[in-house]
Amino acid sequence: MRSERWALGGDLGVARVGYGAMKLTGWPRGERPDRDAALAVLRRAVELGVNHIDTSNYYARDGVSANELIRAALHPYPDDLVIVTKVGALVEGPDIALPATEQRGLTPDGLRRGVEANLTSLGLDRLDVVNLRLGDRGHEDAPLDGPLKTLLALREEGLIRHIGVSNVSLDQYTRARGLAPIACVQNAYNIARRDDDALVDACAADGVAYVPFYPVGGFQPLTAERLRAVADRHGATVPQVALAWLLARSPHVLLIPGTGSLAHLEENIAAGDLRLSAEDLAGLG
């Protein structure tokens, strides 16, 4: 499956195992690799066939920015590299500490500033895909129509190629599809957290990519015995089985596991070669 591709937005061929850059910054909390290690991870990811990188201008902490690292490591970018960014309530990394009433990222001005900040920090004239992130703290009931209208206008200006949505319900996804062409959905989903099953299926029916975050549990790593049993049969790790399960879920599922470790990067990408049998999948439920 490592060699399999999905046409993101219908025209951007991406490998199904990509890379998420958030962990390179330790944002919003946590450890991060030093600069040389972060640059090495990004370059190695591309060497291993990754051509889909997920990032955002607000992935930044203490002067360390995911977008700046991506630009330093990979610019001028390979012709087939697809960089997916996101905008939402936050514009800058430190905005996460602001009261929700002071987070203006979902306003027309805030969305434009977010898009322009991503363009500038990545050194691009147009963003391949911009995900509209909803549902953050204090913005659970944020309207969808206005922000999508703003992103559509920015697309008309040539600043955005495709639009996606993130952290949305099935109803919000359905509404978004009625307002704009949607290239992808990015939501929390993994083998132990399957609340989005109906949305995953809806995206598959619509030919829309589904990109799970927290693919191996996020801050609560997966340790179920059934995962361990399958991992042992294949000589693999539990996270590799969790990633392989997602790839087996449907061809439209794209992965963006993040890491600041070269060893973990290679392990994650190797999960694309792990083929789970019907017996494995039945045992995993």
CATH of the domain at 97: 3.20.20.100
* Residue 178 within any structural domain of the chain: yes
According to the model, what pLDDT value does residue 217 have?
Answer: 81
Residue 48 falls inside a structural domain: yes
Give the torsion sign (CA, 170, 134, 253, 79): positive
**161: in domain:** yes
pTM above 0.75, yes or no: yes
Task: Decide if 166 is inside a domain.
Answer: yes
Task: Specify the DSSP element, H or E, that contains 206.
Answer: helix 197-206
pLDDT tens by residue, 24-63 = 999 999 999 999 999 999 999 999 999 999 999 999 999 9
210 is catalytic: no
Q: What are phi and psi of 111, to 5 degrees?
A: -65, -40
Residue 172 lies in a domain: yes
Residue range 116-158, pLDDT digits in tens: 999 999 999 999 999 999 988 777 778 899 999 999 999 999 9
Report yes or no on 101 lying in a domain: yes
Q: What is the pLDDT of residue 2?
A: 62
Smallest CA-to-CA distance from 200 within 192, 188, 214, 218 is with 188
Confirm whether 164 is domain-assigned: yes
Which of 59, 77, 173, 189 does the annotation list as catalytic? Answer: 59
- Write out the residue range of the structural domain in which residue 29 sits: 5-216+252-260
> Within the chain, which residues score under 50 in pLDDT?
none
Total domains present in the chain: 1
Torsion of CA 19, 21, 24, 26, to 10 degrees: -120
Please indicate, yes or no, if residue 266 is contained in any of the structural domains. Answer: no
